[in-house]
Amino acid sequence: MRLDKYLKVSRLIKRRTVANEACDAGRVMINGKVAKASSNVKEGDVLEIAFGTRTVKAEILTVAETVKKEEAKEMYKLL
């Protein structure tokens, strides 16, 4: 699954366009490397997202095309 879509589906970032802009600005990393919005993510990858001064680090547990709002938190584990 594409990184920008995963960020939206997992609700780490609310909108796909915002996820796309964050990737273009170099604020999203997969396994320690700066990632493009079109990068593929898989289970076990570690994401780092820079939100201003705060950084969120999460491990991907599952990848699904669609998820209910309540189940979105089960897609990743914060580190």
What is the rounded CA–CA span in Å between residue 11 and residue 58? 12
User: Has residue 21 got a pLDDT over 90?
Assistant: yes
Residue 64, C-beta contacts closer than 8 angstroms, at least 6 positions apart: 9, 75
- For 55-78, write each residue's pLDDT tens digit: 999 999 999 888 898 888 898 999
What is the rounded CA–CA span in Å between residue 18 and residue 25? 11
pLDDT category of residue 14 using cuts at 50, 70 and 90 = very high
Domains parsed from the chain with CATH numbers = 3-78 (3.10.290.10)
pLDDT category of residue 49 using cuts at 50, 70 and 90 = very high
Helices (H), 1-79: 3-9, 16-24
What is the rounded CA–CA span in Å between residue 63 and residue 1? 7
